[in-house]
Amino acid sequence: MKKWIAFWNILVKDMKNYYLKPPNISWGIIFPFAWTLMFLLRSKSDVDIRDILPGIIAISILFGTTSMLAVTITFERKGRSFERLLLAPIDLNLLMMAKTAGAIIFGIMNAFVPIVFSLFFINLSGVNWISVIVSVVLISVTSTFLGLFIAVSVNEVFEAQTFSNFFRFPMIFLCGLFIPLSQMPVFIRPLSFVLPLTYGVDILKAAINNDGYISMWISFIALILFGLFMFLFSIRNVKRKWIM
């Protein structure tokens, strides 16, 4: 019971202390919000909005979660408060889950910003909401663990943001967000399949527009494996660089 009390206290503390920091506001809140409005207002018809909605949802999650982890972990490392947490009588895996849980929740909340906005423009009847919700959760988890992987690899917030953009911006063009995988050049397409966001976007496209390219079950499994790999790799880095 005590370990879950510690989990909750760490989660609440991070949300209060770090989630309104300037990098989070600019990259995690304003950027996805502005991106959503830009595409929704520029779309000329219901079809346009429905086609781009999966991409907007995925980008909102990606930028929100990675920005949160970049700030939370790097601020605490710089202030040496993270070292004190490592000395606490709590399992390292549970500690890192507590540090990432807030970003996952924030990513899920970010995902529904474009969905709510789109309801003012189009009719979303026929959407497979169960697949959408599961996909949003898995994208949030995977993107958060990507942010964790980045955060434990750098020392400063600006380094984390720069390193994050190294992953985020290529994903916009390679994950089928706005250019379908089937229309990508053959020599570029293999790069798309090594990026976790590709599978999340494909699930959203299948759920919203019935336009998936990959089997939905393969995409679900791929997201789970990507998330598990990045979490375990991040834990390994923490043990090797910060503890040993």
Contact 126, 45 (CB under 8 A): no
How many domains is the chain built from? 1
Q: How confident is the model at residue 191 (pLDDT cuts 50, 70, 90)?
A: confident
pLDDT at 33: 67
pTM, rounded to two decimals:
0.84
Contact 190, 159 (CB under 8 A): no
Q: Containing domain of residue 156, as a range?
A: 2-243
pLDDT tens digits for range 43-73: 555 557 778 788 888 888 888 787 777 667 7
Provide mean pLDDT across the span 140-145: 88
Long-range contacts, stretch 49-53, CB < 8 angstroms, 24+ apart? 49/118, 49/121, 49/122, 50/118, 50/122, 50/124, 50/208, 50/209, 51/209, 52/178, 53/114, 53/115, 53/118, 53/204, 53/208
